[in-house]
Structure 1
């Protein structure tokens, strides 16, 4: 692997699983559908709730890049987006891993949304 995650070397017991998605993932904010996909992924990481990731092409709102970034030793550098939906601007409400580590390469091109959104999986 040319770009392995350092987190897995340091903590081989830590699990981050990427499951092929359910039949459907729908992301809503109030009555507005923000994203709908039949090609979503579900990331299950020790210590965190399961999180749906949808292909960026299935996001129905504009994602405005944020200055905010974080880092995960298992997934890589995180970039955040502001989301405007139903006239409300939600700062740093979505994120993506543009160049994830090799073990997480399946989430490249996918976006996750925070808990301000209602996310239906299945």
Structure 2
């Protein structure tokens, strides 16, 4: 893509990516939506830690792309997805940086879950 304008303008702002050693899962309303040993943790100033799962380890059949998009000056444009189990759903609870800025190419083809969107959504590690 290109260099992040956020990192150029605000070099003091930290966005750190690191590999997670443990197996991680994302569960919504008792259903496992993601299960992976290849998760990237993102620690960004002013935000809670986020965990990015490889797209191939996420149940795409339980997600529906929405019209929502946001722009992060550090990571790029995010596309959003609803979780839809039929009887239960969570709006814009999953996002992906499909074309992240150069500094965050490690997020490409990965998806993160926003636990604040529902009490039924939990991201955790397994032994």
Q: TM-score, normalised to structure 1's length?
A: 0.92
- The structure whose residues are more often helix, as a share, is 2
Structure-to-structure mapping, 1:1-122, within 5 angstroms? 3-62=2-61, 63-85=63-85, 87-115=87-115, 116=118, 117-121=121-125
Could you list the structure 1 runs, at least 4 aligned residues long, displaced by more than 4 angstroms after superposition.
none
Distance 1:101 1:74, change over 3 A: same
Q: TM-score, normalised to structure 2's length?
A: 0.89
For structure 2, the 5+ residue unaligned runs are none
CA RMSD of aligned residues (A): 1.4
1:35-85, CA deviations, whole angstroms, 9 ceiling, x for partnerless residues? 100011100001111111100110124221100000000000010011113
User: SS where residue 56 of structure 2 aligns?
Assistant: helix
Kept in 1, the 8 Å contact 2:33–2:59? The answer is: yes
For structure 1, the 5+ residue unaligned runs are none
